[in-house]
Amino acid sequence: MRSFLLVLLTLFAVVPCARGQQGNPVKSGVAEGILTDSVSGKGLASGTVSIYKVKDSSLVIFQLSATNGSFRFDLLPVSVPLELVISFMGYRRYIRHFTLAPQQKYDLGRIGMVRSDISLKEFTVAPERPPVQMNGDTLEFNADAFSMDKNAVVEDLLKRLPGVTVWGDGKITVFGKTVNNVLVDGKPFFGRDGTIATQNLPKNAVDKVQVYTDRDNQRSEQDSVMSVNIKLKKDKNSGYFGKIGAGYGTGNRYTADAMLSGFTPRSQLSIAGALNNINVTAPDVTTLMRNSSFKGVGINIEYQPNFDMEGLHKTTSAGLTFQHDFIPDPGPMKNNRIDGNYFLTNQQSEVLKNTVIRTTLNGDSALLNISRNTMQGTNRNQIFNANYGVKNETGEYYLSHQIALNDMISLSEQAGEVTNEKGIQRSINNSVFRQDRNSRDIIIKAGLNNINTMLKLDYILTLNRTHDRQLNKTEFHSLSDQELQAFFNRQYNNRSSLTSNELNARYALSKALWGDNKFRGTGLNLINEFKWDVRKENNIVGDLDTLQHSYAANNYLTNEMRTSNIDEKPGISLNRRFAKTFTNRYRKVWWITLTGQEQFFSQKNVAVKSYQNFSRTYTVFLPSASLLFENEQISDHRTSYTLKYSKRADYPTAGQLVPLIDSSNVYYQRMGNSALSPEVSNQLSLSIFFFSFRTNKLFDNYSLDISAGTVNNAFTDSSFYQPSGRTVSYTINRSGARFLRIDGNFYRAVKLDGHQFQIVGKASAMLNERPRYINAVLIQTSSLFGQGSVNVLYTCKDLFAFNIAEAVNVVSSGQSGAGGSMKNVVYKTTLSSSINLPARLTLSSNITFNHTTSTYLPARNFRIWNASLAWRLLEGNQGEVKFTAMDLLHQNNSVLNIGNYNAITTGTVNVLQQYFMLTVSYFPRKFGKRVKKPVGTFNELLKN
C-alpha cells in the first residue's frame, strides 16, 4: 500500500509540469564576460547584467558582476534571439544581441564600459531602471521589472529574484546568507515575522526590494545582521488586509477565525481571533496573523490540526499588535518606536491515556507500572508585551515589560498497578487529583548602550506571585508489604512569590584609555553580572479528619520558607583582531578573546523547620577563551570557524538539600542531601559556518556545532526501588560524567527555468554518560537522544509544489555494571503536494507514514492522510471555499513511545481522528488611497 501511494504521488508531481516541458529542449547555452573601465581597464564590480528575449522584451535572467567584473550565465535558452543589457552607475549602457546554439559557450570577452560624460552615438534605448543595481552598500531590486500575476504577493516576487531563496521552512537567504530581518519602509511590519509582510503585501504595491547588512557594533561578518527592506510605492504605503472565515464538519467539528490589520506610514494595528475544536493551537498572536495570510494556500501550513497532540482540545484565542514610530523615516541606525501585543488563549482539554512504564533494574529485572489516566481541565493564558526603544548617533536605549497571567483548573483520575517482569502484581493505586492554580508574572527590562561613555547596561526585574490549591485523594495497597497500606485525603493551600533583580554591565576600558586611534584592533572590557533572587513560600497543608469531617493541619508539611540567592560575577575581557586582505581576492580575520570572571555565590535559607535553616557561600573562578577565524573568498564564499572553551558552576537548591517529603506521592519520593557540593562543568566547542555567493557550490550554506565536556561532582541520582514499585531517590555528587552534543544543518537550492529544487537537512544528537546508583549498585548510564530530518521540495513555477520529508527520532540507553538496555525509534515519512488547477482551484494533499520500534514491543505502523480542495473566487481572489478531508484512512491511534535512562514509556492516548469539513473565507484588503473619479460639468452629467 505504501509503495502504491508513493508511485501515485510521484506521478501527481510529474504530470502538472509535463506539458510545460514539452518542446523545451534539455540542451542550453552559456554566456560570460568581464566588465572593465574603457580607459583604465580595471574590473567593475556590482554592475547590472541582464538578458531579455528580443521577441517580447521579457526578462530571462540577470546578475551583478563579481569583484573583478566577471559574470557568467548558465542554462540560457538556445535558438532564441537574446539581448544583453549592462548598466553601471556613471557609465553608458551597453547592449548586444546574440543567439546561442545548443551547448554553445558564448564568450563576450572584456567589455569596456564608457563613462557617461563621453559623448557616443546611442544606437539602442534601454530600460530606464535596471532590474537590479547597487546603491552604495545596498542591493536594490526593481519590482516593476518582473511581470507577474496581478494577485501575486511579495513572496512570489522574492522567489523570482536571483540569489534570493524562500525555503520551505520559511527561512529566507540572499546569496546563501540568512535574512535576519524583513522590514517594510525601514521598520518591522506587524512584529518580527517577515511572512506577515511577504504573504500579504501585493507585488504591485512594491517599488523596490533592498538588501543590506547592518554591521553596527558587530565584530565580524558572522555577527552582522542581514536585512531585506520592502520599499512601498508612495501611493501604496497605507492600507488594510485581513480574513474572516468559518467552517463546520462531521462529528460536530468547527473552526472560525478573523483578522483585520491596518497600517499607515507611522502606525500599525492588528486584531485577530480564532476558535475551534480540532486541536489547532496558536502560541501567540503572530501565528494567528500568519494563518490569516492572503497567500495561505500551500503545502507548508504551520497552523493546522495537530494529529500528534495528546487528547481533544477546544481552543479560543484572541490578540492584537500595535506599533507607532515617532519619527517619519526610521532605519537600521535611527528609530524612536513603541510597539506591543496582547494575546489570550483559553483551552478546554480532555485526555484519556493508558501507559506502561518499564523500569530496568539490576540483573535484567524490571518493574512495570501500568496506569489508566483521565484528565479534564481548562487553561487560560494572557500575555501583554510592550516595548519602547530609541536609537540614534549617541547609542541605543530601551524599556520593555511583559505581564503574564495564567489560570488553570484540572481534574484527573488514575488507576494503576505495579507488576514485576513476570506479571506478578506488587501494588495497586487509585487516586483523584484536583488543582486550581493562579500565577501572575511581571518582567521589566531596561537598558542602554551609550557610544560616548562606552557603557552598556541591561537591567531585568522579575516578579512572580502564585497561588496553588490542590486536593489529593490516594488509596494505595501494597501486596508485598502490608505496612505500606495508605489512604490520603490531603488538601494544599500554597502561596509563593519570587523577586529577582539582574544587572549586567560592560564598560569599554580600551576606548576610555586609548581612544579609537591607538591599539587599533584591541579591546579591553570590564564586565559584571549581578543577580539577586528572593523566593518566599507559605504552604498550608491539611489532612481529612474522618471523625470531625474537616481538614486538620499537617504540622510537618505546613511551612514558611524564605530563600535568598546572590550571584555576582565581576571580570575582565580582552580581545584582539588580526586581519589579512588581498584586494579582490580574499579577506581573512582572526579574533582572540580571553575572559576571566570570579563568581561569588551566596545562599541563605530561613524556614519554620529549624533543619531547613542554612547559609552557604561559594567562590569559583570561571575562565573562558575563544578563537574565531573568518575566511572570505571575495564573490565566492565565506567560512568561519569558532573554537571556544568555557567553565560554569551550578549550585544545589534548597529542594535538593533539605526538602519536605510528601508521603502522598506513593510511587516516588525525593529525599534531601545536605552534603551536596556544587557541580562544575568544563566545555570545549567548535562551530563551523559556511555560505556561498555562487550557485555552483555543493551547499548554499551549512553549519556544524560540536561541543563536549566533563562534569565534576555531577548531580546524579541514587535510587532504591522497593518491591511495591515505590522509588526513593537522593541527589548525590559523583565524578565521571561527560557529554557530547552535535548539531548541524545544510541548505541547497537550484533554480532552473521556472523550476526550483530545495533540499534541507537538519540533525542533532546528545550523548550523556553519567554514573548513577540503582539499589546501591554503581551503574554507568549512557543515553543517546538524536533526531534528524531531510526535506526535499520541488516547485514548478506557480503551478505545482511537491515535498517529501523523512524524520527520525532515536532514544537509546545502556547500562554498564548491570544488565538491561532499551531503545526506541520513531520514523516519519511525509509526502505533500499542492497543485493550482484551472478555475482558481488548488488541490493539496499530504500523507505521513509512522513507523515505531521499541525494545520489548513489536513494531507499530499507521498512516495519516489529509487532503483539501480550495476554490478562490471574487475579484482579486478575495473569497475562498475549501473542502477538507482529514485522516482519510482513519488510522490515527497516537502511539506513545518515550525513553529516558533506564525507563521506557509506551501506551496510547485519545487523539483527533477522521473528519470532513467545509470552510468559507473572505479576505478584505486594500492598499493605497482610493482614487476619486473627477466630477464632470453639469451638462456632462445630464448627457450621462
Q: pLDDT per residue over 44-81, tens digit each?
A: 887 888 888 888 777 788 787 877 888 888 778 898 99
Edge-to-edge strands of the sheet including 59-64? 59-64, 48-53, 82-87, 94-98
Outline where 503-653 has alpha helix (H).
509-514
pLDDT value at residue 26? 46
The DSSP symbol for 798 reads T
Max mean pLDDT range (56-70, 137-151, 430-444, 721-735): 430-444
736 Rama class: left (phi>0) / alpha (psi -120 to 50) / beta: left
151-160, 620-629, 732-741: segment of lowest average pLDDT: 151-160
pLDDT value at residue 362? 66
User: What are residue 505's DSSP bridge partners?
Assistant: 457, 528
User: What are residue 413's DSSP bridge partners?
Assistant: 374, 432
935 pLDDT band (50/70/90 cuts)? low
pLDDT one-digit tens code per residue, 165-189 = 888 777 888 877 888 899 999 999 9
315-319, 479-483, 673-677, 725-729: segment of lowest average pLDDT: 479-483
State mean pLDDT over 806-812.
Answer: 89
Residue with cell 542550453: 28
The CA distance from 95 to 92, in Å, is 10
**Pairing verdict, β 70-76 and 59-64:** unpaired
509 pLDDT band (50/70/90 cuts)? confident
For residue 940, is pLDDT > 70?
no
CB atoms within 10 A of CB 603: 20
Query: Domains in the chain and their CATH numbers?
Result: 28-130 (2.60.40.10), 453-715+731-737 (no CATH)
For residue 619, is pLDDT > 90?
yes
Q: In this structure, is the dihedral angle defined by the CA atoms of residues 351, 245, 157 and 269, taken in order, positive or negative? A: negative
pLDDT value at residue 548? 87
17 pLDDT band (50/70/90 cuts)? low
φ, ψ (nearest 5 deg) of residue 586: -155, 165
pLDDT value at residue 63? 80
106 versus 363: the higher-pLDDT residue is: 106
For residue 15, is pLDDT > 90?
no
pLDDT value at residue 226? 84
pLDDT value at residue 300? 45
pLDDT one-digit tens code per residue, 24-44 = 444 678 999 999 988 888 888
Q: In this structure, is the dihedral angle defined by the CA atoms of residues 94, 95, 99 and 102, taken in order, positive or negative? A: positive
State mean pLDDT over 225-242.
Answer: 92
Asked if 862 contacts 891 with a C-beta cutoff of 8 angstroms, the reply is: yes
pLDDT value at residue 514? 65
pLDDT value at residue 215? 57
pLDDT value at residue 905? 81
The x, y and z cell numbers of residue 940, run together, are 456632462
pLDDT one-digit tens code per residue, 854-913 = 776 778 888 999 999 999 999 989 999 999 999 999 988 777 777 666 777 888 889 999
For residue 824, is pLDDT > 90?
no
750 pLDDT band (50/70/90 cuts)? confident
Percent of the chain with pLDDT over 70: 90
The DSSP symbol for 10 reads H
Asked if 429 contacts 474 with a C-beta cutoff of 8 angstroms, the reply is: yes
State mean pLDDT over 355-369.
Answer: 78
The CA distance from 880 to 870, in Å, is 7
For residue 834, is pLDDT > 70?
yes
The CA distance from 454 to 14, in Å, is 61
Residues in the chain, how many? 944
3-state helix, strand, coil in the chain (%, to 5): 10, 65, 30
State mean pLDDT over 82-109.
Answer: 88
The CA distance from 483 to 471, in Å, is 24
51-65, 574-588, 770-784, 793-807: segment of lowest average pLDDT: 51-65
State mean pLDDT over 316-338.
Answer: 92
Average pLDDT, the chain: 86
Would you say the pTM of this structure is higher than 0.85? yes
The CA distance from 37 to 383, in Å, is 59
For residue 307, is pLDDT > 70?
yes
For residue 326, is pLDDT > 60?
yes
pLDDT value at residue 932? 56
The CA distance from 155 to 167, in Å, is 11
**Which amino acid appears at position 331 of this protein?**
G
The x, y and z cell numbers of residue 880, run together, are 475562498
